[in-house]
Amino acid sequence: MAEPKGETAADRAYRILRSAILSGRLPTDRKVTEAGLAEMLDLSRTPVRNAVGRLLIEGLLQRRKGSGLWCILPTRDEIRTIFDIRARLESYAAARAAEFATPLQRAELVASAARMALLVDEMLSDPHADVVPRIDAENALFHCKIVEAAHARRLELLLQSTIDVNLVTLTLQAYGTEQRMRSASHHHEIAVAIAGGMVELAGKAMEVHILSAASFVLTDPQADHPAPRQGKMPVRPG
C-alpha cells in the first residue's frame, strides 16, 4: 500500500506531500518553497514541481505569486462540501454500476460486503484483534470497485482527486462499534442493489451511506481538523 515498486520520484513526492499536508505535518501558517520541499525529500526540483502541480490542482496547495507555497487544510465547512460532492458523484457511480457492471464485478461487490460483515463480527467477538486496518482496506476496496464498475473514466478521475485516503481514514477512526455495523449493513444493501440491477436503489443507498458518514463525522466534536498542528515538523523522505 505504501510504496509501489514502479513508482516514479514524482509519484512518491506527490504521495508523501499530500499525506504530509492532510495530516498536518506541513505548516499552514508560513510558506514552503519548491526548493525546500525538494531538499526535504532529497530530490531535485523537477519531480517536486510535478507533485506540486497536482496538489495545486487539487487545491491542497496554493501559490502566492512570488512568495512561496501555502498549504491549505480543508476547513470543517469544506469537509462537509467534500462529503456532499462525494454523495452526488458516488451515488451516480453506484447507479451506473447497477446498470453496467459485469457479472464478475457484481459478484465481487457482494463478496466484499460479505467480507466486511465478517470483519465486523470479528471485531465484535475479539475487540483486541487488530481488524481495524483490514476494515479500512475492505472499505476502500468496496468503494473503488463500485467506481470501476460504473465504467466511467471521468468519474474515476474526479473521485480520485476528491476522495482522500486520509480523510476517509479520519472518518473511520471516528467510527465506533455501532457505526461500523451500520456501515457494513450499508455495504450489503448497496452490493445487493447493484447486483440486482436496481439503479435507483443503488444510487440512493450510496447517498445514505455517504451522508450518514458525513453527519456522524461532522457532529462528532473530536473529529474536527486532521491534526491542527502548528509548529514545523520534519517529513522523512522514506
Partner DNA sequence: TGCCTAAAAAATGTATCCAATTTCGCGACG
Partner DNA sequence: CGTCGCGAAATTGGATACATTTTTTAGGCA
- What is the binding site for its own copies (CB under 8 A)? 49-50, 53-54, 57-59, 74, 78, 81-82, 84-85, 88-89, 92, 152-155, 157-158, 161-162
Question: What secondary structure letter does DSSP report for 73?
Answer: -
Return the amino acid letter for 106. Answer: R
Return the number of the residue (44 or 173) whose C-beta is nearest DNA: 44
Q: What is the 3-state secondary structure of 145-192?
A: HHHHHCCCHHHHHHHHHHCCHHHHHHHHHHCCHHHHHHHHHHHHHHHH
- Site size toward DNA, by CB under 7 A: 21
SS3 143: helix
Residue number with CB closer to DNA (60 or 147): 60
CB of 211 to its own copies, least distance (A): 13
- What residues contact residue 154 under an 8 Å CB cut-off, 6+ apart? none
How far apart CA 207 and CA 87 sit, in angstroms, is: 5
Q: Which is nearer to DNA, 39 or 148 (CB)?
A: 39
Q: How far is the CB of 181 from its own copies (least distance, A)?
A: 30
Taking the complex as a whole, the smallest distance from the CB of residue 45 to DNA amounts, in Å, to 5
CA 53 to chain centre: 20
Question: 19, 27, 28, 45: which one contacts DNA (CB under 7 A)?
Answer: 45
CB 187 within 8 A of CB 120: no
Q: Is the dihedral of CA 167, 168, 170, 175 positive or negative?
A: positive
* Residue 34 binds to DNA (criterion: CB under 7 A): yes
Q: Give the nearest distance from C-beta 182 to its own copies in angstroms.
A: 25
The b/e string for 22-53 (b: 16+ C-beta within 10 A; e otherwise) is: bbbbbbeeeebebeebbebbebeeebbebbbe
Q: Is 30 in the site for DNA (CB under 7 A)?
A: no
Using CB under 7 A, pick the residue from 69, 155, 184, 214 that binds DNA: 69
CB of 163 to its own copies, least distance (A): 12
8 binds DNA (CB under 7 A): yes
The residue ranges that bind DNA (CB under 7 A) are: 6, 8-10, 31, 33-35, 43-47, 49-50, 63, 65-69
